[in-house]
Amino acid sequence: MSRRQYAAPRRPAGEPDDTGCTVLHVDMDAFYASASLIDRPELRGLPVIIGGGARSVVLSATYEARRYGVTAAMPMSRARRLCPQGVVVAPDFTRYAQISDAIMATFRSVTDLVEPMSLDEAFLDVAGATRRLGPPTRIAQLLRDTIADEQGITCSVGVASTKFVAKLASGLAKPDGMIVVPVAEVLGFLHQLPVGALWGVGERTEETLERLGLRTVADLAHVPVETLRAALGDATGTHLHHLAWGRDERVVVRTQREKSIGSDETFGQDVDDPVVIHRELLRLSDRVAARVRAAGLVGRTVTLKVRFSDFTTITRSRTLRDPTDVSRDVYATARSLFDGLGLQRARLRLVGVRMEGLLEAAGAPIQPTLDEPEQGWRDADRAVDRASARFGAGAVRPASLVKDPGVPGRRTVPAGPRRA
What gap in Å lies between CA 187 and CA 218, rounded to an integer? 9
List, for residues 177-218, the tens digit of each pLDDT value. Answer: 999 999 999 999 999 999 999 988 888 899 999 999 999 999
Length of the chain: 420
Taking every pair of C-alpha atoms in the chain, what is the biggest distance, in angstroms?
A: 73
- For the chain, which domains are there? 32-91 (3.40.1170.60), 192-244 (1.10.150.20), 258-419 (3.30.1490.100)
Q: Which residues contact 45 (CB under 8 A, 6 or more apart)?
A: 64
Sequence-ordered list of residues with C-beta below 8 angstroms from that of 25, at least 6 positions apart, any chain: 121, 122, 123, 124, 157, 158, 160, 163, 166, 167, 169, 170
Annotated binding site: 27, 120
pTM over 0.75: no
Strands, DSSP E only, in 291-420? 297-308, 313-324, 348-356, 359-360, 411-414, 418-419
Residues flagged as binding site for Mg(2+): 27, 120
pLDDT tens per residue across all 420 residues of the chain: 333 344 444 444 466 899 999 999 999 999 999 999 998 999 999 999 998 776 778 989 999 999 999 998 889 999 999 999 999 998 887 788 889 889 999 999 999 999 988 889 999 999 999 999 999 999 999 999 999 999 999 999 999 999 999 999 999 999 999 999 999 999 999 999 999 999 888 888 999 999 999 999 999 999 999 999 999 999 999 999 999 999 998 999 886 656 788 988 888 889 999 999 999 999 999 999 988 888 888 888 999 999 998 888 999 999 888 888 999 999 999 999 999 998 878 899 999 999 998 887 765 455 554 455 544 666 666 666 665 555 555 555 565 555 544 444 444 444 444 443
Catalytic residue list contains 356: no
Of 115, 121, 265, 280, which is the active-site residue?
Answer: 121
Give Cα separations from 203 to 71, 208, 227 (angstroms).
Answer: 18, 9, 19
Residue of 412, 168, 178, 195 lying closest to 290 (CA atoms) = 412
